[in-house]
Structure 1
């Protein structure tokens, strides 16, 4: 009697490896993550891992690309074109901060990649391409606000996006040390709501400052 053939699922195997690797790299970084543990989590073996990704470093790059692809996919679902500039910026800011809160593994991966001085991001053309639409969207909203006379005209879109991201990034990436030093957990619902409100007010106050004088 012939034994049943095992159905091959290369895409499924690849996805499982990426999912397992994302968790391992987020928790232990590139140096701390173990290939054998990733393979075990993915229900495969090290040979298949190397077959699909070539090396541990290439797998780390693929995990970074997947993390940024998730952010880019979520950004593409934003529909801010029909909103007034103030509301559009408010929703953009809240989207970024909420995405970081809901995907803190992305922050841990970025923290680790910064230890490597962005070596693996620099080697990925895909990540640079994925970041372009959100900065273009930000620039469009800022320009609409400047044209309407509600935002100042001297705002650099890339600097603004970085600053906007930093407001949410810092609180989350330092949540444990902030709690230990200041005695507050800024991821607790009420604290987080107050920080988001304060950050939104700060962002909009900056954009509105001098707007009427430049209109």
Structure 2
């Protein structure tokens, strides 16, 4: 899978996959900064060290590229989750690891968060056009359902909790730390350093989730 979020460097010659990687990287930065309407293909091409003609050749237009970037970033986070091999861990350990790693992922990928904020400002106009994203993100619920079923069988988790609600809770806590950090810290000043805030809020996310799951 292409990985523009973590690997911006790629070979320049005779490497169409590397070119797409650089275009995705540039597009993610541009869309996260300026949104779909404000983004320019010329800027994306410059960030990708290519030409606007090559961007258009691969992605036709700005809207098509934007949707491809949306699909990519969701693919990336879902791949990250599946790579955690949570099915190999006892359910209580698995849920803690999922929360911690989800929190760490959001902190490490602020442009992903900004892109999703932009899409929400457009009321999900483009994400609703992608059946692939809807299908892809079912894996998040499938992964959680496996943990919950195993935990309920061992009488560790409340029988009433659902994968959908647990996913919403985890996503909300992880997302808020990144998306609202500037307004929240300005309005409610903290004496904690950024690193201390990450540790504190990650622990808070774990505690909130495990308490929600408790019988």
Task: State whether TM-score is above 0.5.
Answer: yes
* Residue 94 (structure 2) pairs with residue 88 (structure 1): yes
Q: 1:17 to 1:186 in 2, by over 3 A?
A: farther
1:147 to 133, 143, 153: 153
Asked whether the equivalents of residues 171 and 186 of structure 1 are also in contact (C-alpha less than 8 Å), the reply is no
RMSD over aligned CA atoms reads 1.8
User: Which of these two proteins has the greater Rg computed from alpha carbons?
Assistant: 1
Q: For the residues of structure 1 that align with 2:161 and 2:67, how far apart are their CA atoms?
A: 33
1:145-202: CA deviation from partner (whole Å, max 9, x where unpaired):
1111111100111121011110110121000001111113877111221222222112
Cα distance in 1 for partners of 2:128, 2:191 equals: 34
Q: Give the TM-score normalised by structure 2.
A: 0.89
Query: Are residues 13 and 196 of structure 1, via their aligned partners in 2, closer, same or farther at CA, if it must alter by over 3 Å?
Result: closer
Q: Which residue of 1 aligns with 2:46?
A: 40
- Shift in CA distance, 94/187, structure 1 to aligned 2, threshold 3 Å: farther
Q: Give the total of aligned pairs.
A: 204
Pair 1:79 & 2:82 matched: no
Pick from 100, 110, 119 the counterpart of residue 125 of structure 2.
119
- Aligned-partner Cα distance in 2 for 1:187–1:113: 30
Q: What residue ranges of structure 1 are gaps of 5+ in the alignment?
A: 1-5
CA contact (8 A) 2:166 2:209 kept: no
Match in the other structure for 1:128: 134
Query: Does the 8 Å contact 1:178/1:184 carry over to 2?
Result: no
